[in-house]
């Protein structure tokens, strides 16, 4: 049913231009306009309640009504409502947050550089690596290695770093981007090939690619520990150990994109700890502020920090910055979010309920439309297939992900479609009973869509 012209949905349709949205869905029944949140639930303007199975966009880790975060914001707004970090000035919350993140880092840390988002953080890394290599007499090191299905942001250069087909809409990637294989074992492993053999094959292919391009032209390698926007792709056993050896051999920095997996989502503080990655630089964002303020950060190893400082000397400064980066309110919120998560029992709760989450997820593998189930911590994905034996995907015209997501929404559950996959990543505070509600609803929806497709094919 189309919304009437005075409804919030109609007003939204007339005034708002959406990002990453299935256009037929908007044309057919409009958007869902959210009015308020409570715990793991959100409520639309008609009062309908939805269990938010993707925590917003991975980021609302403490749910939608954490009063302690609102109080932290209020206190900071009353003390110092805004400031910048330019010209050797700073605020107390920004200093405290940098210290806190430095203490939590999995690598020998230098300093922390704040941004407003993960996209800005990755964009910053590109520039700082170009600056370093040029200062060290290697200006030809301009290329970046990425992986198919990677996602690193929506700015011009970070779109360039994103290994998804839709970047072609903008004439990307440019020649400075070198794309290597996606580490998706279920989809790309050879018949009879073990995970370890698959990882070794990818590492060998990476080395050959570096040698072909010329190691003297490579500025860095970007990688998510777990590929979130690619559909929660967990790397095969031994993958990052082998990749790290190849990169170290050729002096290529490894950039760990922890925008999604950082601060607990994977079941560890950092995704790098979950998958055995040893990055030289890390970027983070989403869970850092539990989604209550736009925040991002670049974590520099001691070695990279020293190299960057030396590279800046001829310029007298690091010639880059964002007006609201290191915002005192955002930093105060992030400090409180980190405290609540790691000192207030939320992370221990996540670790208690994640085995149940993964077990309920795994049980869906028996469904006739599910080809693969994958997940770690409190993040998971279902890969839908038209044929389980051949792993054949549904035709794009079926819009299988959107079809299931819309049916789930109508049953009071928000999940995220990603092409032929469905992503589930609820807030960290989700209760065991709410996990059961989420998967029971999803199983009912999968059955309904499956029966509908069978009727249409008959």
Query: In angstroms, rounded to a whole number, what is the distance separating the alpha carbons of residues 132 and 219?
Result: 9
pLDDT at 3 over 60: no
- pLDDT for res 4: 60
Classify residue 412 as exposed, middle or buried by CB count within 10 Å of its CB (0-12, 13-18, 19+).
Answer: middle
Tens digit of each residue's pLDDT (9 = 90 or more) over 107-118: 889 999 999 999
Q: Does residue 1 register a pLDDT over 50? A: no
| Alpha carbons 299 and 305: distance in angstroms, whole number | 9
- Average pLDDT of the residues in 35-53: 97
Q: Judge if the upstream peptide bond of residue 373 is cis by omega within 30 degrees of 0.
A: no
Residue 2 has pLDDT above 70, yes or no: no
What pLDDT band is residue 11 in, cutting at 50, 70 and 90? confident
pLDDT in the model for residue 457: 84
User: pLDDT category, 302, cuts 50, 70, 90?
Assistant: very high
Task: Using alpha carbons, select from 108, 127, 320, 155 the residue that is nearest to residue 220.
Answer: 127
pLDDT above 70 covers a percentage of the chain that reads 99
Angle at 68 between CA 336 and CA 282, to 5 degrees: 25
- The two tokens of residue 155 are 């700015």
Are the C-beta atoms of residues 371 and 419 closer than 8 Å to each other? no
pLDDT of 5 reads: 61
Distance (Å, whole) CA 252 – CA 206: 12
Under the banding of pLDDT at 50, 70 and 90, the label for residue 30 is confident
- DSSP letter at 396? G
Model pLDDT for residues 151-194, shown as the tens digit of each residue:
999 999 999 999 999 999 999 999 999 999 999 999 999 999 99
| 6 band by pLDDT with thresholds 50, 70 and 90 | confident
pLDDT (mean) for 217-234: 97
Is pTM beyond 0.85 here?
yes
Quick one: how far is CA 222 from the chain centroid? 13
Query: For residue 27, is pLDDT > 90?
Result: no
Residue 22 has pLDDT above 80, yes or no: no
pLDDT (tens digit per residue) in 266-294? 999 999 999 999 999 999 999 999 999 99
In angstroms, the Cα distances linking 45 to 42, 67, 328 are 10, 22, 32
User: Where does the pLDDT of residue 374 fall: very low under 50, low under 70, confident under 90, or very high at 90 and above?
Assistant: very high
For residue 381, which of 410, 406, 418, 414 has the smallest C-alpha distance?
Answer: 418
φ/ψ of residue 425, rounded to 5: -150, 80
Share of the chain above pLDDT 90, in %: 90
Confidence of residue 20 (pLDDT cuts 50, 70, 90): confident
CA dist 20 and 446 (Å) reads: 23
**H helical segments located in 140-287:** 156-160, 185-188, 195-213, 239-249, 271-275
Collapsed DSSP state (helix, strand, coil) of residue 153: coil
Asked if 374 and 381 touch (Cβ cutoff 8 Å), the reply is: yes
| Backbone φ, ψ for residue 26 (5° rounding) | -65, -45
Does residue 63 have a pLDDT over 50? Answer: yes
pLDDT band at 101 (very low <50, low <70, confident <90, very high): very high
Q: Would you say residue 21 has pLDDT above 90? A: no
- Give the DSSP per-residue string, 230-253: TTSBPPPTTHHHHHHHHHHHTTPP
Mean pLDDT of 23-52: 90
List the helix and strand counts (H, then E) for the chain.
Answer: 15, 15
Angle (CA) 168 169 175, round 5°: 35
Provide the 10 A C-beta neighbour count for residue 23: 8
Residue 186 has phi, psi (to 5 degrees) of -60, -40
Residue-wise over 234-271: b if at least 16 C-beta within 10 A, else e? bbbebbbebbbebbeeeebbbbbbbbbbbbbbbbbbbb
Phi, psi of 295 (to 5 degrees): -140, 150
309-353 pLDDT, tens per residue?
999 999 999 999 999 999 999 999 999 999 999 999 999 999 999
Domains assigned to the chain: 32-65+345-457 (3.90.1150.10), 69-343 (3.40.640.10)
**Is 191 strand, coil or helix?**
coil
Residue 24 confidence (pLDDT) = 75
Asked whether 45 and 53 are in contact (CB, 8 A), the reply is: no
């Amino acid at each position: 049913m189309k919304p009437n012209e005075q409804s919030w949905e109609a007003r939204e349709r007339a005034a708002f231009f959406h990002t990453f949205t299935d256009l037929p869905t908007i044309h057919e029944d409009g958007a869902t306009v959210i009015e308020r949140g409570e715990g793991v639930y959100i409520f639309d303007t008609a009062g309908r309640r939805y269990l938010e199975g993707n925590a917003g966009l991975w980021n609302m880790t403490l749910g939608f009504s954490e009063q302690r975060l609102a109080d932290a914001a209020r206190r900071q707004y009353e003390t110092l409502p805004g400031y910048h970090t330019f010209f050797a000035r700073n605020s107390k919350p920004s200093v405290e947050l940098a210290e806190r993140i430095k203490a939590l880092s999995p690598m020998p840390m230098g300093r922390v550089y704040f941004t407003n988002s993960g996209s800005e953080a990755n964009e910053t890394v590109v520039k700082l690596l170009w600056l370093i290599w040029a200062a060290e007499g290697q200006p030809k090191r301009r290329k970046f290695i990425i992986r198919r299905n990677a996602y690193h942001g929506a700015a011009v250069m970070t779109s360039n770093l994103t290994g998804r087909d839709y970047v072609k809409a903008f004439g990307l990637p440019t020649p400075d981007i070198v794309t290597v294989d996606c580490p998706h074992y279920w989809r790309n492993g050879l018949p009879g090939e073990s995970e370890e053999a698959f990882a070794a094959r990818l590492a060998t292919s990476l080395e050959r690619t570096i040698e072909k391009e010329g190691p003297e032209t490579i500025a860095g390698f970007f990688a998510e520990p777990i590929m979130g926007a690619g559909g929660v792709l967990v790397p095969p056993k031994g993958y990052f150990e082998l990749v790290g050896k190849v990169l170290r051999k050729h002096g290529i920095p490894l950039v760990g994109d922890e925008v999604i997996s950082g601060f607990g989502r994977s079941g560890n503080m950092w995704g790098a700890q979950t998958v055995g990655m040893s990055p030289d630089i890390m970027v983070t964002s989403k869970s850092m502020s539990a989604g209550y303020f736009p925040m991002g950060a670049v974590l520099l190893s001691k070695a990279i920090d020293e190299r960057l400082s030396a590279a800046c000397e001829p310029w007298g400064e690091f010639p880059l910055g964002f007006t609201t980066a290191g915002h005192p309110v955002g930093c105060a919120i992030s400090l409180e979010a980190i405290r609540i998560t790691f000192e207030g029992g939320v992370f221990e709760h996540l670790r208690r309920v994640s085995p149940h989450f993964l077990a309920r997820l795994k049980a869906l593998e028996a469904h006739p439309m599910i080809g693969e189930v994958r997940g770690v911590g409190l993040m998971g994905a279902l890969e839908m297939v038209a044929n389980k034996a051949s792993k054949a995907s549904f035709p794009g015209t079926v819009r299988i992900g959107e079809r299931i997501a819309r049916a789930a929404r109508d049953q009071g559950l928000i999940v995220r479609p990603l092409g032929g996959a469905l992503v589930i990543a609820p807030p960290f505070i989700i209760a065991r009973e709410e996990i059961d509600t989420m998967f029971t609803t999803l199983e009912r929806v999968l059955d309904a869509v499956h029966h509908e497709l069978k009727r249409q094919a008959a």
